[in-house]
A and B are shown apart, each in its own frame.
Chain A
Amino acid sequence: MSDRMDAYYELMDRQILDHDGRMIGKVDDVELEQRDDDRLYVTALLSGPGALGPRFGGALGTIVTSTWSRLSGRTEPARVEWSAVASVETVIRLAVGRTTVALDGFETWMRDRVIAAIPGSKVDPQ
């Protein structure tokens, strides 16, 4: 069961946390599917520069989206299926871990190319 909500006020721009509480990204946009009954259904959350770029609009939006598209080699932003969402509060909690969701390429690139090279990157703070 979920409540009624206003999408821009309560769903967009919220933090998405995976099952373990790790920060995956923001709800940068929401995918709507127009079905035969002519109604629009929420099918997925969209995250990353591919989804955020168009939100800026104008020249900035175009630059962000095209730069991201060129660097990542993708045209569609990262998707989190609605079925993966466990709850919508002031954060969006997923029922799945982050390895199930497509991890943002930028984070992976930065981790593997830059951070992993520095000694101590794997040290557990506890």
Chain B
Amino acid sequence: MKKLFAVALGILTAIGGFVDIGDLVTNATVGSRFGVSLAWVVVVGVIGIVVFAEMSGRVVAVSGRPTFDIVRERLGPRVGLANLFGSMAVTLLTYTAEIGGVALALELATSVWSYFWIPFTAAAIWIVLWRAKFDLVENTFGLLGLALVVFAVALWHLGPDWGSLWQTASTAAKPAAEPWPSYWYYAIALFGAAMTPYEVFFFSSGGVEEGWSEKSVALMRSNVFIGFPLGGLLSLSIAGAAAVALLPAGIEVETLSQVSLPVALALGKVGLALAILGFFAATFGAACETGLSVGYSIAQYFGWQWGKFVRPRDAARFHAVLLLSTITAAVVLLTTIDPILVTEFSVVFSAVALPLTYLPILIVANDPAYMGARKNRWLANTFGSIYLVVVLVASLAALPLMIWTKLGTT
């Protein structure tokens, strides 16, 4: 019974915790402009994160080594350092976007100007990172994030023509009004939003925080194989709801308020309240994850003690990095930069940075010295190799497309 509870909790937390500000904004934007013609990218991205997360989860469960230890061990100190700069920059950018997302959610809830909320949000997140127990944070925000199921309910309630939705999605029928470069730019943005690098730093470091062993592999797999795809369905619901409610009306999503519009239209005030609760939980949870991930990556590169499983004074440099990152993110946001813009940059740069961490994990997952009998077999290697190519292509195409389409605005 206790085991069943653990399995259920793990899956539910994985679903509710899957979506972050990048998914919210990108899926809604894509839905409002391209309908469901990019749904296939979400499917590709979700399979990709499932493959990647399972490998890094298995590596940490069997060998105890989290991602950035492996990056330095397999790439050497110089390439590893370049990797660290790139990964930390993207993760810090994402952290900034998530904190901005929390502030936007609070603005939606209270009608108080979002920039007012930024110092309080940053302080609250830092206090959670300083004091709160790791699994309590994960479980609380993961479960509250399930409120985003309201998007699936709203989509159902809007009574769309399911046949034509399926038709558009399965043939990737791009709307005539949108140019092809923008289509591919958003394909990469969606891919970067689904396969965020920080997810893997966090997932594998979390394995050490929670004391995973080889026995944890089965539970980890149920979270990843069941929870992540269902979380992906939430992403698709957000895109679908925007496609049905906003695309015909020609409303393009540019604010978080517009992301929630389909829910408000379909389910009124109650739906909207749940959507806002979901936004808050998803972004606050993701902010904690990305904040910790900045600390995890630098500490794991240099060999510093890290983690919430020790007293803060025993991981002084780790906590100093967390504090400094939070202050930096808050300062950037207080320049009144649009958090949506920060989010758009963060998903594109996520796609650029992805190969840096993906390649070492794929290699170590095959290394018998780390993995013993649990090393990759043909299925994991087949998917792993296919996705290595996908990830490299996306990484190379991301910046040119971003510049060519001016962040998708042409």
Which residues of A lie under 8 Å from residue B269 when comparing CB positions? Answer: none
Question: Would you call A123 and B312 a contact (CB within 8 A)?
Answer: yes
> How long is the Cα–Cα vector from A57 to B77 in the complex, in angstroms?
10
Question: Would you call B65 and A47 a contact (CB within 8 A)?
Answer: no
> How long is the Cα–Cα vector from A122 to B130 in the complex, in angstroms?
11
Question: Would you call A118 and B76 a contact (CB within 8 A)?
Answer: no
Given contacts A13-B76, A14-B73, is CB(A26)–CB(B312) below 8 Å? no
Question: Would you call A25 and B303 a contact (CB within 8 A)?
Answer: yes
0/1 per residue, B73-95, Cβ < 8 Å to A? 10011101100000000000000
Which residues of A lie under 8 Å from residue B76 when comparing CB positions? Answer: 8, 13
Which residues of A lie under 8 Å from residue B133 when comparing CB positions? Answer: 125
Question: Would you call B311 and A55 a contact (CB within 8 A)?
Answer: no
Chain B interface residue count: which class? 20 to 34
0/1 per residue, A36-62, Cβ < 8 Å to B? 000000000001000010011100000
Which residues of B lie under 8 Å from residue A56 when comparing CB positions? Answer: 77-78, 81
Question: Would you call B131 and A107 a contact (CB within 8 A)?
Answer: no
Question: Would you call B303 and A47 a contact (CB within 8 A)?
Answer: yes
0/1 per residue, B40-75, Cβ < 8 Å to A? 000000000000000000000001110001001100
Which residues of B lie under 8 Å from residue A114 when comparing CB positions? Answer: 316, 320, 323
Interface of A is mostly: mixed
> How long is the Cα–Cα vector from A63 to B39 in the complex, in angstroms?
49
Which residues of A lie under 8 Å from residue B312 when comparing CB positions? Answer: 115, 118, 120-123
Which residues of A lie under 8 Å from residue B130 when comparing CB positions? Answer: 118, 120
> How long is the Cα–Cα vector from A123 to B306 in the complex, in angstroms?
15
Question: Would you call B311 and A125 a contact (CB within 8 A)?
Answer: yes
B214 at the A/B interface (Cβ < 8 Å)?
A: no
0/1 per residue, B307-346, Cβ < 8 Å to A? 0111111101101100100000000000000000000000
B304 at the A/B interface (Cβ < 8 Å)?
A: yes
> How long is the Cα–Cα vector from A15 to B307 in the complex, in angstroms?
15
Given contacts A15-B69, A22-B305, A23-B306, is CB(A106)–CB(B317) below 8 Å? yes
A94 at the A/B interface (Cβ < 8 Å)?
A: no
> Which of A55, A121, A124 has the largest count of B CB atoms less than 10 A from its CB?
A121
Question: Would you call A115 and B316 a contact (CB within 8 A)?
Answer: yes
0/1 per residue, B284-318, Cβ < 8 Å to A? 00000000000000000011111011111110110
B370 at the A/B interface (Cβ < 8 Å)?
A: yes
Which residues of B lie under 8 Å from residue A14 when comparing CB positions? Answer: 73
Return the chain B residue nearest A29 by Cβ: B77
Which residues of B lie under 8 Å from residue A57 when comparing CB positions? Answer: 78
Question: Would you call A107 and B72 a contact (CB within 8 A)?
Answer: no
> How long is the Cα–Cα vector from A54 to B312 in the complex, in angstroms?
31
Choose one: B65, B311, B323, B370; the contact of A124 (CB below 8 Å): B311
Question: Would you call B304 and A107 a contact (CB within 8 A)?
Answer: yes
Which residues of B lie under 8 Å from residue A30 when comparing CB positions? Answer: none
Which residues of B lie under 8 Å from residue A106 when comparing CB positions? Answer: 317
A84 at the A/B interface (Cβ < 8 Å)?
A: no
Which residues of B lie under 8 Å from residue A96 when comparing CB positions? Answer: none
0/1 per residue, A87-126, Cβ < 8 Å to B? 0001100000000000000111011001110101111110
Shortest Cβ gap from A19 to chain B (Å): 14
Which residues of A lie under 8 Å from residue B80 when comparing CB positions? Answer: 13
Which residues of A lie under 8 Å from residue B303 when comparing CB positions? Answer: 15-16, 23-26, 28, 47
B369 at the A/B interface (Cβ < 8 Å)?
A: yes
Which residues of B lie under 8 Å from residue A8 when comparing CB positions? Answer: 76
Instruction: Supply 11 further A-B pairs (C-beta < 8 A) apart from A115-B319, A125-B133.
Output: A14-B73, A15-B65, A22-B310, A25-B302, A52-B77, A55-B77, A107-B305, A115-B313, A115-B320, A121-B313, A122-B311
Query: Can you list 30 A-B pairs with a CB-CB distance of less than 8 A?
Result: A13-B73, A14-B73, A15-B65, A16-B303, A22-B310, A23-B306, A25-B302, A25-B303, A26-B72, A26-B303, A52-B77, A55-B77, A56-B78, A57-B78, A90-B63, A90-B369, A106-B317, A107-B316, A110-B316, A111-B314, A114-B323, A115-B313, A115-B319, A118-B312, A120-B312, A121-B313, A122-B311, A122-B312, A125-B134, A125-B309
